Amino acid sequence: MDALTGSPLGWLCMGVTALFGATVLRTAKRSPAEQASVLVWRLLPALLGLLCGATLGPGGGLVVFCAACVVSSVYLGGRALLPVGDKAVLITGSDTGIGHALAKYLDNLGFVVFAGVLNKDGPGAEELRQTCSPRLSVLQLDITNATQVKEAYLKVSEKMQNTGLWGLVNNAGILGFPADGELLPMSMYRQCMEVNFFGAVEVSKTFLPLLRKSQGRLVNMSSMAGGIPLPRYAAYGASKAALTMFSGVMRQELSKWGIKVAAIHPSGFQTGIQGTSDLWDKQEKDLMENLPADTRQDYGEDYLLGLKSYLVHIPAYCAADLSPVLSAVLHALLAKRPQGLYTPGKGAYLLLCIFCHFPLWFYDFFISKMLSTESVPRALRTSEAESKNL
């Protein structure tokens, strides 16, 4: 320690350390948990610098200290949130699920919320009116209806003409009927693209002038299925993959306007997106009526009718707690340096890593084991039985 304090470089190291440490209390202004995190990440470089100064000498200690400060600043910069203030956010698909929960969550935090709903007289819209503050406005907004999108824009711009719109969360989406891609009718592909992709693009293009005015945030609710291939999600996954790519391009193009763009890839959460039994019956009927005779023969009636049971069991594999998704959206809206991609939920980031960094055969094998089912098309069962007899 004498070597550390006995030279000008040593005194400089200690002085910078003290100055850096003096900023600790000024940065910890939020919750006790956040204060503890900030204290750790602010004090760690100082302690590390002093320790290395005592063992490596003043020069080595100063180098280590500066490097640790850079790492600490980058980490804290990613965690630092802007104040809510009078920021306004538009959320599409607020009738149910993530959009509904997000509208309540942001309203509770003090945001001015515009909750776009498919049915302004439905139970979801009415619950928002009853439970949220007067800051929240419910807007009739079918994102596939250009007239309703334009009307929503006029209402929002009239109310926020001075400050602009801080955030747009493209959350509205449909799942469709999970089935083998060969079985899905073209109407299902078109519907998923119309809602999950074209609708989000239409809303984004319409509201971007208000986002430019505030230099705000565009947040697109994609899906884990939009980043990795998953069986039975050809239509849904393709539409979400298009939305993810759109988000990436817009992130690059809108940065010159000061607008930050993020895509959210949640894993399985209980949102009700799979629909109701009446909807399943309608979709199943549409699927069955559009199948060619030879395809129906190869797959077999039992396999086709068993597809609906997959929908019934989806909630059992999904998390009921939506807080990871809500926290990710909040960070995307308020972080000084938001991430371009968020993967809330168990398994979302792991599967993305396996898909990106492992051979495709390994990923396909992993997914086949993870999503294995007892249901097999009739033609494959017959072929297997004949092979065993031989």
SS (H, E, C) the chain: CHHHHCCHHHHHHHHHHHHHHHCHHHHCCCCHHHHHHHHHHHHHHHHHHHHHHHHHCHHHHHHHHHHHHHHHHHHHHHHCECCCCCCEEEECCCCCHHHHHHHHHHHHHCCEEEEEECCCCCHHHHHHHHHCCCCCEEEECCCCCHHHHHHHHHHHHHHCCCCCCCEEEECCCCCCCCECCCCCCHHHHHHHHHHHHHHHHHHHHHHHHHHHHHCCEEEEECCHHHCCCCCCEHHHHHHHHHHHHHHHHHHHHHHHHCCEEEEECCCCECCCCCCCHHHHHHHHHHHHHCCCHHHHHHHCHHHHHHHHHHHHHHHHHCECCCHHHHHHHHHHHHECCCCCEECCCCCHHHHHHHHHHCCHHHHHHHHHHHCCCCCCCHHHHHHHHHHHHC
**Between residues 347 and 208, the one the model is more confident about:** 208
**pLDDT at 371 (0 to 100):** 72
Is residue 18 included in any domain, yes or no?
yes
Q: How many domains does the chain have?
A: 2
Are 130 and 192 in the same domain?
yes
Are 159 and 216 in the same domain?
yes
Are 154 and 179 in the same domain?
yes
Give me the percent of the chain exceeding a pLDDT of 70: 73
Q: Confidence class of residue 78 from pLDDT cuts 50, 70 and 90?
A: low
Domain carrying residue 51: 2-79
Determine whether 135 is exposed, middle or buried from the number of CB atoms within 10 Å of its CB (0-12, 13-18, 19+).
middle
Report helix angle 8-22 to 32-56, nearest 10.
180
**pLDDT at 75 (0 to 100):** 46
Is residue 98 included in any domain, yes or no?
yes
Are 95 and 181 in the same domain?
yes
pLDDT digits (tens, 9 = 90+) for 125-146: 999 999 999 999 999 999 999 9
**Between residues 383 and 229, the one the model is more confident about:** 229
Q: pTM for this structure?
A: 0.78
**pLDDT at 49 (0 to 100):** 63
Which 3-state string (H, E, C) describes 75-96? HHHHHCECCCCCCEEEECCCCC
pLDDT digits (tens, 9 = 90+) for 180-223: 999 999 999 999 999 999 999 999 999 999 999 999 999 999 99
- Of 41, 56, 79, which marks where a domain is finished? 79
Most confident of 63-72, 261-270, 274-283: 261-270
The answer to which of 37-41, 214-218, 319-323 has the lowest mean pLDDT is 37-41
**Between residues 117 and 161, the one the model is more confident about:** 117
317 pLDDT higher than 80: no
**pLDDT at 173 (0 to 100):** 94
**pLDDT at 384 (0 to 100):** 57
Backbone phi, psi, residue 335, to 5°: -65, 140
Q: Is the distance from CB of 247 to CB of 262 less than 8 angstroms?
A: yes
Are 168 and 97 in the same domain?
yes
Q: Confidence class of residue 302 from pLDDT cuts 50, 70 and 90?
A: confident
153 has catalytic annotation: no
**Between residues 372 and 197, the one the model is more confident about:** 197
Is residue 229 included in any domain, yes or no?
yes
Q: Rg of the chain over CA atoms, in angstroms?
A: 26
**Between residues 225 and 37, the one the model is more confident about:** 225
**pLDDT at 25 (0 to 100):** 47
Are 13 and 153 in the same domain?
no
pLDDT digits (tens, 9 = 90+) for 83-115: 999 999 999 999 999 999 999 999 999 999 999
- Annotated catalytic residue, options 233, 236, 299, 303: 236
- How far apart, in whole angstroms, are the C-alpha atoms of residue 338 and residue 90? 18
The answer to which of 27-31, 242-246, 333-337, 378-382 has the lowest mean pLDDT is 27-31
Are 129 and 151 in the same domain?
yes
Of 382, 375, 333, 342, nearest to 111 by C-alpha is 333
**pLDDT at 27 (0 to 100):** 46
Q: Confidence class of residue 358 from pLDDT cuts 50, 70 and 90?
A: very high
- Of 45, 79, 113, which marks where a domain is finished? 79
Residue 214 amino acid letter: S
**pLDDT at 21 (0 to 100):** 55
Average pLDDT of the residues of the chain: 83
Of 293, 286, 219, nearest to 251 by C-alpha is 219
231 pLDDT higher than 70: yes
Mean pLDDT across the stretch 338-345? 94
**Between residues 260 and 288, the one the model is more confident about:** 260
Mean pLDDT across the stretch 346-350? 81
